[in-house]
Structure 1
């Protein structure tokens, strides 16, 4: 059995538990593969905007249980609130055991200052037309369902999957400049306040880049999402990396539901060590 990867900090955001677009099984596989000292939940983990009593699958509950298990086993879990879980902001600065709820976070990482926040504060539509932003959230969820059906048809025809929602979202954002200056605003503020790293979510675009102006420079990082990109940020050995589930997933780690679908022979084969008969010959 392979050991879990130890990471100093893991950052996930924009999971949107409780929505049809959430890919909880992939996230659970990732969480089962790591052993973080700190787990930063950088906003929009539970989608309270679109929460429905009749839709909260076991895989979504399993993600919450896994996060609770991390906390009970000594991992510091820091929940930074976002716009889709903004109701939790009334509990800001609340700490229960190893779990804390905050609006933003500053950490000293090997002598460098890191500034964490979700990022919706930079989104004008959230501040001035919240009802429109919420309507957009519902539309995005419907788009995910349509895209799922299209991809089901494409897979049946043996063709490559197509991210209709991502294509439309990218085009709409460039057309109306939805969050066009997000990175510039975040990095300019980070440089102005002397932060070496600025870590965000919100725009569902995983990225790591160095931004520089006449006043200094900073490293901008975005954890992406667990709807389309399946990405996280990891800090270990004094450096950051963008983890991509599609490219970096570890086959030995399974979700509970994966184990349930295995038949008995598969399960025995997965957990049994078979001796090589050649090694027994002297």
Structure 2
């Protein structure tokens, strides 16, 4: 029997199920290595913007089945909606069993006020020109596909993989400015509203930083993503940790036995039941 780490809170975001860039197998390995009391899905878990009925592989279906399994076994799951899954906002404040759907989450833990939200509310391109943001999403997904081919070749010749999109973000002044503005806006608002911790996703930039201004201070956390960085946030023993899958030295966890034996038909049936429960709750 493999040891699973027990955690109070785990935050993951920007999984983008249904796209070629999604690292579903790595995420499933991670989810099978932990036992969280509260799992916060901080937006863009299912990429409804780029959903294609011809592409939703079994590994992606297994993520949904795993989440349902965690909820059944007692994990509280809070699904915070993002921009790529904004259609789920029609179900905001709906709860069914251990799963709830919200647009933001406010918690007080160990005496500290914590504010969780995806972060797309700060993005003007999404708020005012959604079609342009969607077009950019398709371009990003194409870049990820190209990157996967490049990394396959690098792996074959024994070289380390690298991220084309991350390299672009780090070299384009506009992208750097956007990330900086996002982080400043989030922390300024958190300090203004006296939140001790602010937790975001959206920009695919994992980070943990204590920000202090003349008006106060807050701990800024970004869960990153499961496309490029493969990161999550973990809370245990009154401390936040930024988890990186590529740096995890634990022995790999195979998928649960029930998932190994499950056919694609069974997986789709499980998801259908999940959808029907949502409709009944609404």
TM category (shorter chain) comes to 0.7 to 0.9
Q: Which residue of 2 aligns with 1:204?
A: 204
CA RMSD of aligned residues (A): 1.7
Partner of 1:103 in structure 2?
Answer: 103
Q: Measure how far apart 1:214 and its partner are.
A: 1.1
SS at structure 1 position matched to 2:113: strand
Report the number of matched residues: 259
Q: CA deviation at 1:126?
A: 0.9
SS in structure 1 at match of 2:228: coil
Secondary structure in structure 2 of the residue aligned to 1:177: helix
Alignment-derived partner of residue 218 in structure 2:
218
Q: CA deviation at 1:178?
A: 3.3
CA distance in 2, matches of 1:173, 1:90: 36
**Per-residue deviation at 1:256?**
5.5
Establish whether residue 33 from structure 1 lines up as the match of residue 37 from structure 2: no
Shift of 1:249: 5.0
Q: What SS is found at the alignment partner of 1:180?
A: helix
- Relative to the length of structure 2, the TM-score reads 0.88
Contact 1:172/1:178, CA 8 A, preserved across alignment = no
Deviation at 1:215, TM superposition (A): 1.2
Query: Please, what TM-score do these two structures have when normalized by structure 1?
Result: 0.88
CA-CA distance at 1:159 after TM superposition: 2.7
- The residue aligned with 2:273 is none
Specify every segment of 5 or more residues in structure 2 that has no aligned partner in the other structure, as ranges.
Answer: 261-282
Query: Is residue 112 of structure 1 aligned with residue 98 of structure 2?
Result: no
1:154 match: secondary structure: helix
Deviation at 1:252, TM superposition (A): 4.5
Corresponding residue for 1:81?
Answer: 81
Aligned to 2:44, what secondary structure does the other structure show? coil
Aligned to 1:269: none
Matches within 5 A, 1:12-51: 12-51=12-51
Give the match's secondary structure for 1:84.
coil
Q: Which runs of 5+ in 1 are unaligned?
A: 261-282
Structure 2 residue aligned with 1:267: none
2:10 corresponds to 1:10: yes
2:56 is matched with 56
Residue aligned with 2:54, SS: coil
| Structure 2 contact 29–252 (Cα < 8 Å) conserved | no
Equivalent runs, 1:108-147 vs 2, <5 Å: 108-147=108-147
Residue 250 of structure 1 corresponds to 250
In structure 1, C-alpha distance between the alignment counterparts of 2:154 and 2:252, rounded to whole Å: 29
Aligned to 1:210, the other structure's residue is in SS state strand
Determine if contact 1:114/1:195 at 8 Å carries over to the other structure: yes
Other-structure match for 1:232 = 232
1:2–1:252 CA contact under 8 A, matched in 2: no
> Following the alignment from structure 1 to structure 2, what is the Cα–Cα distance between the partners of residues 176 and 5?
35
**In structure 2, do the counterparts of structure 1 residues 209 and 180 end up closer, same or farther at CA, with 3 Å as the change threshold?**
closer
How many angstroms does 1:172 deviate by? 3.7
